[in-house]
Amino acid sequence: TPENTETLIEAPAGSPINVDGNGATITTNGIGTAAGSSYDYGYVGFIPAKGEDATVSDLKVVGSGFVEVGHHGQGGGNYTINKLVVENLVATLNINNGGNNIAAAFSHYGNATMTDCVMTGTTTLKDGFKPYDAAFVNGTKTTIIGGKYGVIYLANQAHVTIGEGAEIDTIDSYAITTRNLGKLTVGEGAKIGTINLYDTGSYKPALVIEDGAEVGAIIYNGVTYTAAEWMA
């Protein structure tokens, strides 16, 4: 795409989104220098009407930008995301989320099932912001089946279930237990390198590790635990 072009596929009111990329690659070219004043993020967005469903399959996005299914304030639908590859993206959308400076390559804004996706190698040009291959935001629910991820982020009120065949190097989770607002579940057949858990004020982290899950290390308040030690 030309520099600072938004690639947005939007549906009219009452309509879902259904996109099959047929293996195509989008090279987006955002620079992200004038936040809030111009469309310079290089968005690649698949945006159904609020509360409507979306299916996105067999597509690769590279370059510099941000990939979204749904849209902030316009989500809430059920999203099926299959074989979406976001590789070595330079993240242009740099935000403060609950006191954390993050730069995510991918986010969604509904209830998503993500199957056999690959999201790795994200970087950012903005100092002081941590790059994430995917960030799961407040009010969303996500099931990850298969695929490979580098580093992912869970906001306070995100629900994420890691399922069979999924491989994730690092998870930074701020999900909280209070009123079941947030939760990280590592299910049977998932393989996780490191889970970093963080308290949010007086709230405790919400983590469940099921039988058959493989977790290398859990780090909480400067102490490293095995999965067995944590669950005990």
On whether the CB atoms of residues 46 and 79 are closer than 8 A, the answer is no
Q: Which amino acid is at 38?
A: S
Query: Average pLDDT for residues 138-157, to the nearest whole number?
Result: 97
Element at 18 (helix H, strand E): strand 17-29
Q: What is the pLDDT of residue 148?
A: 98
pLDDT at 39 over 80: no
Is the distance from CB of 177 to CB of 206 less than 8 angstroms? yes
Sheet with 94-97, edge to edge strand ranges = 94-97, 100-104, 130-132
**The pair of three-digit structure tokens given for residue 201, joined into one six-digit string:** 């004020």
Q: What is the pLDDT of residues 82-137, one digit of tens each?
A: 999 999 999 999 999 989 999 999 999 999 999 999 999 999 988 899 999 999 99
